[in-house]
Amino acid sequence: MDRIAITGGAQLNGVIPVSGAKNSAIKLMAASLLTDEPLRLTNMPRLADTRFLGKLLTRLGVSVTESDGPDGQQTILHAPEITSGFAPYDLVRQMRASFNVLGPLVARSGQAKVSLPGGCTIGARPVDLHLQALEALGAKIDLHEGYVYAQAPRGLKGAEISFPIVSVGATEHAMLAAVLADGVTVIKNAACEPELVDLQECLNAMGAKVEGAGTPTVTITGVARLKGATHAVIPDRIEMGTYAVAAAMAGGEVRLTNARPELIESLSVKLEEAGATVVRTEDGVIVKRNGSRLNAVDIETAPFPGFATDLQAQFMALMTTANGESHIRETIFENRFMHAPELMRLGADISVHGGEARVRGVAQLEGAEVMATDLRASVSLVIAGLVARGETVVSRIYHLDRGFERLEEKLGACGAQVRRIKGDGEPEL
């Protein structure tokens, strides 16, 4: 398995272009199942997760073609017919979001057999809300031997879906299924993340009638069929925020481009509170720190537009060398402080009690061998390694490759001393 080695001490100075959003791209790819015409997605990231989903879609009858088009990296997906409604465990387990092929398969072909995605290292994340939404739309759901059997031979029907808690994945799944349902579907207590707006725009470009994404109520008027379309994937706000934190950690000046500053406003405010300079631009942000020590600040994760849970680990890394004591409260996922013990191997002073971590800033981190436990935790260790004395080696970086495109290249272009150490073979996921 590959590892990443970071020699700390170098400031970051330069430009980092932000890739398309992983969390949006994989749901947009699933939308290709809804039409027999080609769907062209531009600003597409090249990641392990998009590759995993591409393999699954190919099995279901979708041709997946990646290329460099006039608008940059693009993926063209075309499913003239659904050749299989079976999504096996060995593919679904590699990425939870691949479970979202269930709704589009049932919406288009009337039936599907999709594996339950299994456990998750950062929390249970059950799919019961997904299944309740499909049942509300008229699908008959049976669970047997780890698989979901869903049938709607006469098609899905519009319905009111009221989620008891906010769920990004369940909201997206309901939207993907309801666009071909007969009648009007109203989703209440919907998630409001920007990726949902991106999904709405793509579906509407395909001929759907969706409104309200980005608010707690989404209304979908079903149509008989969808057509092909071209859609640009929204910039990745988590990648943007990650590099903003990296710049604040290492010092220097980094300009993040091809992005939208309003997508990380909650983070930018906290970076400024800590003592970094954040300049909003038309296509991103500039993050500067002159070398002075940052101040400790508290954060609490919350649904968008609050502080993103997917930036919590990165911000914890930033606070490990800040002046004072910070408190980090995680409200979205249980068990999402697994990076804390690895940061402590670098000399961080962190104590965890339930859903809250207390971080006392230290003057200096020391390089060591550490292990990634999940996607966002892996990059938090890279960020800490940027300032740790000596060399930090991060193993199990297949987690990192799921969500960050050309990380070594992007950081290296700004002066970071970071390199990939090639391993033997592919990891067992």
> Which one is catalytic: 120, 192, 202, 414?
120
202 a catalytic residue: no
Rounded Cα distance, 254 and 244, in Å? 8
> 23 a known binding residue?
yes
**Does 329 appear as a known binding residue?**
no
The answer to whether 270 is annotated as binding is: no
| Residue 126 labelled as part of a binding site | yes
Annotated ligand binding at 129? The verdict is: yes
Q: Is 127 within any annotated ligand binding site?
A: yes
- Sheet strands side by side (includes 277-281): 12-17, 252-257, 284-289, 277-281
Neighbours of 422 (CB within 10 A): 8
Report the binding-site residues for phosphoenolpyruvate. Answer: 22-23
List the binding residues for UDP-N-acetyl-alpha-D-glucosamine: 96, 125-129, 310, 332
Residues taking part in catalysis: 120
The binding site comprises 22-23, 96, 125-129, 310, 332
